[in-house]
Amino acid sequence: NAGVTQTPKFQVLKTGQSMTLQCAQDMNHNSMYWYRQDPGMGLRLIYYSASEGTTDKGEVPNGYNVSRLNKREFSLRLESAAPSQTSVYFCASSEVGYGYTFGSGTRLTVV
Amino acid sequence: DQQVKQNSPSLSVQEGRISILNCDYTNSMFDYFLWYKKYPAEGPTFLISISSIKDKNEDGRFTVFLNKSAKHLSLHIVPSQPGDSAVYFCAASASYNQGGKLIFGQGTELSVKP
């Protein structure tokens, strides 16, 4: 009963490097989300996918791209990392009308 | 523009007493509200929720109150226990049952002292 699995758990990048954060859920949920958590800012929505094959921007999409690879997987890509993207990233999934289930997060540091 | 606000970054309470966490919102279209609890190095987990058609929802030691006219909700924990020490996020959604997304507040860190 894994729920939502995020990889990696920790990552350090140099400015300008690229990387992809992976997320997979085993609950057969249609909707998936990427949030970032910053001190004093709470959780802010980066991108979401209401269903397989669709993606939409959230509150803070700049500097990120996403791919809904299939119903289970939703990845977040940083093409050219910046120090402002240092954060903790959470993936979540849900069915309409039900609470979100979150992964345990990826702590990303950009130096 | 922060649509969901938790103005207290931290709260310290004695074990056995009541903890009251507050949340204000600005969007009158929000129709569903949730509280999430987060321990360090873990993802947020769902705690309790309330629909806008209600003004109170209770689940064991946790009660959420909604005051729509004031655009304010609160989470009461009675009695507080040391294991309740965590960050609590308030979240809200418009058209939640049609797929509305959750907007989160900044979080309040609760510390329950033995």
Tens of pLDDT along A66-86?
999 899 999 999 999 999 999
Beta bridge partners of B25: B4
Q: What is the mean pLDDT of residues A14-20?
A: 97
Give the burial string for B58-74 (b: 16+ CB within 10 Å, else e).
eeeebbbbbeeeebebb
Beta bridge partners of A37: A43, A88
- Residue B81: CB atoms within 10 A of its CB come to 13
Confidence band of B65 (pLDDT split at 50, 70, 90): very high
Confidence band of A95 (pLDDT split at 50, 70, 90): confident
Cα A40 from chain centroid (whole Å): 19
pLDDT for residue A82: 97
Contacts A40 to B, Cβ<8 Å: 9, 106
Report the distance separating Cα A101 and Cα A89, nearest Å.
Answer: 14
Report the distance separating Cα A16 and Cα A78, nearest Å.
Answer: 9
Confidence band of A99 (pLDDT split at 50, 70, 90): confident
High-pLDDT (> 70) share of chain A, %? 99
Report the distance separating Cα B105 and Cα A44, nearest Å.
Answer: 9
Task: Evaluate if residue A97 carries a pLDDT over 80.
Answer: no
Q: What's the mean pLDDT when you consider all of chain A? A: 94
Contacts A38 to B, Cβ<8 Å: none
Reported as a single tens digit per residue, the pLDDT across A37-63 is 998 889 999 999 999 989 999 999 999
Give residue ranges of A with CB < 8 Å to any B CB: 4, 31, 33, 35, 40-45, 48, 50, 58, 90, 92, 96-97, 99-105
Task: Evaluate if residue B30 carries a pLDDT over 70.
Answer: yes
Coil/strand/helix, residue B83: helix
Confidence band of A98 (pLDDT split at 50, 70, 90): confident
Mark yes or no for CB contact B6/A31 under 8 Å: no
CA distance B57 to chain A (A): 16
If we measure between CA atoms, which residue out of B34, B45, B33 comes closest to residue B86?
B45
pLDDT for residue B96: 75
DSSP-derived secondary structure letter, B55: S
Angle at B7 between CA B4 and CA B12, to 5 degrees: 130
Reported as a single tens digit per residue, the pLDDT across B39-59 is 999 999 999 999 999 999 999
Q: What is the mean pLDDT of residues B100-105?
A: 90
pLDDT for residue B75: 98
Confidence band of A1 (pLDDT split at 50, 70, 90): low
* B7 contacts B90 by C-beta, under 8 angstroms: no
Q: What is the mean pLDDT of residues A18-27?
A: 96
- Residue B33: CB atoms within 10 A of its CB come to 25
Task: Evaluate if residue A2 carries a pLDDT over 80.
Answer: no
Q: What is the mean pLDDT of residues B57-77?
A: 97
Give residue ranges of B with CB < 8 Å to any A CB: 4, 6, 9, 34, 36, 41-46, 49, 89, 91, 96-99, 101-107
